[in-house]
Amino acid sequence: MRLVSIMVFIALLSMVSRVHAEAPDESDLARAYGGAEFVTVATGARQPLARAPAVATVITARDIREIGATNLAQVLETVPGIHASVSGPGYNPIFMIRGIYSDFNPEVLMLVNGIPITNLFLGNRSQAWGGMPVEDISRIEVIRGPGSALYGADAFAGVINIVTKTADEIRGTRIGMRGGGFGTYGGWILHGGNYRDTKVAFALQARTTDGFHGTVDQDAQTALDRLFGTQASLAPGSVNTGGRRLDARLDLARGHWRFRTGYQGRFGYGTGAGGSFALDPVGSGGGHRFNADLTYHTLDLNPNWDLKARLSYFDVATKTDLVLFPPGAFGGTFPNGVIGNPDVFERQGRLDLSAFYTGFRRHRVRIGTGVFYGDMYKTRETKNFTIGPGGIPTPLGGLVDVSQSAPFIRPHHRTDAYVYLQDEWDFVRDWALTAGVRYDRYSDFGGTTNPRLALVWQARYDLTAKLLYGRAFRAPSFAEQYNINNPVALGNPNLKPETINTAELAFDYQPTPAFRAGVDIFHYRMSDIIRFVPEPAPATSATALNSGSQTGNGLEAEFTWHATPAFTLRGNYAFQRSIDDRTGTDAGMAPEHQIYLRGDWRFIPGWSWDAQGNWVAGRRRVAGDNRPPVGPYLIVDTTLRHRVGHTGLHVAASIRNLFDRRAKEPSPAPGLIPDDLPLPGRSFYIEARYDF
C-alpha cells in the first residue's frame, strides 16, 4: 500500500510537466513584477527584516492556504526539522524540533506577534490549547536552534513566531466557511480598513468539531485490570478530540502607536487518550487566553536610532474535568471513576524596551531591556481520591474541594529582569560577525547568561555560508518546581534551568532564478535536563531533578523549484540522531528521518491544485521501553481551489490523509497506551470564502 501511495503521489506530481503559456496581460505583469511568485510578494504587505542570523523558515499566508491547512500544527509539519506529534492527554501538539522531545513540549518558544504565550504551570501553551486557527495568520517565522540570546527563556529547541494580519493585508472584508470530516464546521470574518487615520484590523474565527475517533486497543486501565482482576477499562475505545473554539483579534495602528488584543476561548475539549492514559469519554478541558499589548515604535528621534517600547498583558485559564480512571477502577472502589478537576489561572505582564543603533560604521548594534511578572494567582482542584501508600488512589468518599487542604500545586509567581546586547559587525568585506549576549535574573532560580555568535560569509552572489553557535535555557515550570501531593511528580524549588549549546553550519544556494536550495548540519548538547526521578527504595515517589544530558547531531536540506510559471515543487529532508548520555542509547520518540514533498500547480486559469506528502520514519523507543519502534508512515494531502467566475468567491476541496494510512504517534514510555496514539484517517473538507 505504501508503495502504491508513493507511486500515485509521484505520478500526480509528474502530470504537471506541461509548460504553462501566459496571456499577454500576465506577460506584462510578470515583467513588471518579476513573475507570478513575485506578484504575490509585491502585492503583499511590507516584509520585515529578519532579526538575527539563524536557520530560519518563513511560511506565508499563501503557503497556508495552498496546502489547505486548518490549524497551526499542519503548517509546522511542513518545516524541515520539525515534527508535530501529539500528547496522550488532550492530544495537544508536541513540536519536536531536531529530535528534542518531552511530554509537555516546553522547549519550544511560541510567540504571537513577538510576545510569548508560554504558561507558567507546565511551560507549554496550556493543556486546553485547542489549536490555533490560521485565517488571521500573515506569516509564521520559525527559527530552528537556540534563541535565548534575544528571546530569553524557552527559545531552546526553536522559536515559532506567529504574526497576525494587519489592516493593510486584509483590506476590506473577507468571510469564509469550512466544513468536513469528523463533524467539523467553522467560519470566519476578517475586516481591515482605515478609519480616521487609524488602521483597524479585526478577525473573528469560530469552529466546532466532534474530533476523530481513532481506536485505542489497550490503555493504562487495561494493565490495572490485569492487576486487580477487573474489567473497568474502556479500551478498545476511541480517543476524544472534539471541542469548540472562538478566536477574536483586534489591531489598531495610528502613527507610532499600535494596540493589539485577542481572545481565545476553548470549550469542551476532549481528553484525547485520557488524563492518565486511561480513556475518558466524559471528561473535558477548556479555558481562555486573553492578550493585549501597546507598542510605540519610532525612527524619528534620530536617524541612527530605531526605538521600540512595548507593554503587554497575557491572561490564561485552564480548566479541566477529568475522569482519570474509569468507573470500577482499583478493585471497584471508585464506582464513578477516579475524578480529578485541576484548574490553573495565570496572568503575566511584560515591559520590553529595545533599540537598534546604526551610528557606528560597519556595526549594527541592538540593545534591549525589560521586566516580566508572571503570577499563577489561583489554583483550584476538586477530586474524589487521595494517593495512598504505594501510589494507589484511595476514595475520599465523594468529590472534595482540596484547593486549600491538599492541592496539586499552590499559587506562585516569578519575576524576570533582563538586558541584552547584540552587535552585527561587518569586519571584513563579505564577512559579518554577530555577537550577542543576554542576561536574565529570575526571582526563583537566579541568573542565567546566554551568548550567541554567528559568522556569516557571503561567498558568492548566490551562495551564503553561516557558522552559528548559541546557548539557550529553559526555565523550570511551576509544576517542576512546586508540585505537591502527586507522588509521581513532586516539585523541587531548587531546580536550575535546562541548558543547551548548539553549533550549526548552514549554506544557502540559488544557482538559478528558479531553484533555491539550503542545507544545514547541527550538533547540540542539552545539560541539566529536568526529569521526575524516582527516589531510592523503599520510597515510591519521584521528584523533579536536573538529571542527565542529551547529545544530538543531524542535518536538514530543502529546495524550492519553480519548474514552470504555473508549477512549483518544494521539498525537504531532515535527519537527526539524539543520544541520551545516561544510557548511551537513542533518546527516542522523535523521527530520525522526515521527507516532505509538495507540488503546487495552477493548471488552468482560476484553478489550482496542491499535493503534499510527508514521510515520517525512525521513531525509536527510549531506554527501558522494550516495545518495537513505531512504524513509519507516509501521509498525502491534496487541495483543489477554484475562483468562481468574476466574483470574489473562492471554493476549495481538500482531502487529508488521502490514502487513509493508519498512522500513529508514539505514546511515552513505559507505554501506558501500548499500541501508541492513532492519528486521523482520511477526511474531506470543503470551503467557501468571499473577499469583498
Partner 1 sequence: MFPMIPAISRGRKALVALCLALPWLIGAAAASPVVPVVIGVLYPDIPAPYREVFTQIIAGVRATPGIMVRRYPLEQDADPVALRRWVRTHGCRAVIALGRRGVAAAHDLDDPPVPVIAGAVLITDPPADPGLVGISLAPDPARLFARLRELAPAVRRVAVVYNPIHSAWLIGRAREAARAQGLQLTALGVGDLRAAVDQYRRIFEESDPGRLAVWLPQDPTTVDARLVLPLVLQAAWDRDVAVFSSNPAYVARGVLFALYPNNMAMGTSLGRMALRAARRRRPRAPRLRLLRDLSIAVNLRTADHLGLVFTGRQVQGFDLVFPVSR
Q: Which parts of 538-597 interact with partner 1 (CB under 8 A)?
A: none
Which of 70, 164, 75, 165 shows the shortest CA–CA distance to 691? Answer: 165
Query: Considering beta carbons, is residue 1 or 50 the nearer one to partner 1?
Result: 50
Q: Residues binding partner 1: what is the number (CB under 8 A)?
A: 83
Least distance (Å) from partner 1 to the CB of residue 273? 25
Strands 108-112 and 158-164: parallel
Nearer to partner 1, 304 or 494 (CB): 304
Task: Return the residues of window 453-512 that contact partner 1 according to CB under 8 A.
Answer: 456, 458, 460-462, 464, 508, 510, 512
Nearer of residues 501 and 560 to partner 1, judged by Cβ? 560
| The binder of partner 1 chosen from 263, 425, 457, 559 (CB under 8 A) | 263
* Minimum distance from residue 424 beta carbon to partner 1 (Å): 9
To the nearest whole angstrom, how small is the minimum distance from the Cβ of residue 672 to partner 1? Answer: 30
CA distance 162 to 583: 37
Q: How far is the CB of 274 from partner 1 (least distance, A)?
A: 22
317 lies in the site for partner 1, by CB under 8 A: yes
Compute, in degrees rounded to 10, the torsion defined by CA atoms 177, 178, 179, 181. Answer: -170
- One of 331, 534, 606, 670 touching partner 1 (CB under 8 A): 606
Taking CB under 8 A as the criterion, the residue among 15, 20, 26, 281 binding partner 1 is 26
Is residue 97 a contact partner of residue 158, using CB atoms and an 8 Å limit? yes
- Which of 249, 620 has the CB closer to partner 1? 249
- DSSP assignment of 410-474 equals --EEEEEEEEEEEEEEEEETTEEEEEEEEEEEETTTEEEEEEEEEEEEEEETTEEEEEEEEEEEE
Q: Which of 96, 120, 200, 220 binds partner 1 (CB under 8 A)?
A: 200
Least gap, CB of 619 to partner 1 (angstroms):
29
| Grid cell for residue 98 | 531536531
Stretch that binds partner 1, among 424-432, 610-618, 619-627, 660-668 (CB under 8 A): 424-432
Containing 14, the helix (H) or strand (E) segment is helix 2-14
Q: Which amino acid is at 183?
A: G
Pick left, alpha or beta for residue 358 (phi over 0 → left; psi -120 to 50 → alpha; otherwise beta): alpha
Rounded to whole angstroms, the Cα distance separating 621 from 671 reads 10
| Segment near partner 1 (CB under 8 A); pick from 151-159, 528-536, 605-613, 662-670 | 605-613
Residues 141 to 160 in contact with partner 1, rule: CB under 8 A: none
| 21: contact with partner 1 by CB under 8 A | no
Nearer of residues 82 and 529 to partner 1, judged by Cβ:
82
Residue 71 or 458: which CB sits closer to partner 1? 458
Measured CA to CA in angstroms, residue 201 lies from 136, 165, 211, 258, 333 at distances of: 10, 7, 31, 11, 55
Nearer to partner 1, 439 or 509 (CB): 509
430-449 residues near partner 1, rule: CB under 8 A = 430, 432
Contacting range for partner 1; rule: CB under 8 A; set: 96-104, 237-245, 288-296, 610-618: 288-296
Q: Which residues 638-667 are close enough to bind partner 1 by CB under 8 A? A: 643, 646
Residue placing its CB nearer to partner 1 in the complex, 228 or 515 = 515
19 binds partner 1 (CB under 8 A): no
SS3 42: helix
3-class secondary-structure state, position 653: strand
What track of x and - describes contact with partner 1 for positions 243 through 262 (by CB under 8 A)?
-----x-x-x--------x-
Distance CA 340, CA 321 (A): 7
Distance CA 263, CA 471 (A): 34
Pick the closer one to partner 1 by CB: 37 or 660: 37
**Smallest gap from residue 427 Cβ to partner 1 (A):** 11
DSSP 282-302: S-EEEEEEEEEEEEEEES-S-
- Rounded Cα–Cα distance for residues 365 and 437 (Å): 12
| From 229, 429, 538, 626, residue interacting with partner 1 (rule: CB under 8 A) | 429
Distance CA 636, CA 656 (A): 7
Q: Which stretch binds partner 1 (CB under 8 A): 6-14, 213-221, 334-342, 422-430?
A: 422-430
* Binding span for partner 1 by CB under 8 A among 36-44, 129-137, 232-240, 478-486: 36-44
Query: Of the two residues 306 and 581, which places its CB atom closer to partner 1 in the complex?
Result: 306
What is the nearest approach in angstroms of partner 1 to the Cβ of residue 415? 18
Among 6, 12, 15, 39, binds partner 1 (CB under 8 A): 39
Indicate the residue among 140 and 672 with the shorter CB distance to partner 1.
140
Binding mask 211-230 for partner 1 (x = CB under 8 A): --------------------
Separation CA 375–CA 262 (nearest Å): 20
Among 331, 605, 624, 631, binds partner 1 (CB under 8 A): 605
Binds partner 1 by CB under 8 A, chosen from 36, 97, 108, 597: 36
- Single out the residue of 423, 309, 419 nearest to residue 357, CA to CA: 423
Q: Which of 14, 19, 25, 628 binds partner 1 (CB under 8 A)?
A: 25
3-state secondary structure of 648: coil
Query: According to CB under 8 A, which residues from 158 to 197 bind partner 1?
Result: 171-172, 191, 193, 195-196
ω into 680 cis (within 30 of 0): no
CB atoms within 10 A of CB 622: 17
The span from the CA of 580 to the CA of 574, in Å, is: 20
Contacts of 15 (CB under 8 A, 6+ apart): none
Residues 6+ apart with CB under 8 A from 105: 87, 92, 93, 94, 95, 96, 124
Nearer to partner 1 by C-beta: 105 or 113? Answer: 113
Q: Which residues are within 8 A (CB) of 408 and not within 5 positions of it... i.e. 6 or more apart?
A: 342, 379, 381, 483, 484, 485, 486
Q: Which residue has the cell 549554506?
A: 507
User: Minimum distance between the CB of residue 28 and partner 1, rounded to whole angstroms?
Assistant: 5
CB of residue 265 vs partner 1: minimum separation in angstroms?
Answer: 9
Q: Of residues 11, 24, 536, 626, which one binds partner 1 by CB under 8 A?
A: 24
Site for partner 1 in 347-366 (CB under 8 A): 347, 356, 358, 361-362
Residue 174: CB atoms within 10 A of its CB come to: 21
The whole-angstrom separation of Cα 405 and Cα 30 is 70
Chain residues 40-69 in contact with partner 1, contact rule CB under 8 A: 40-43, 46-50, 52-54, 56, 58
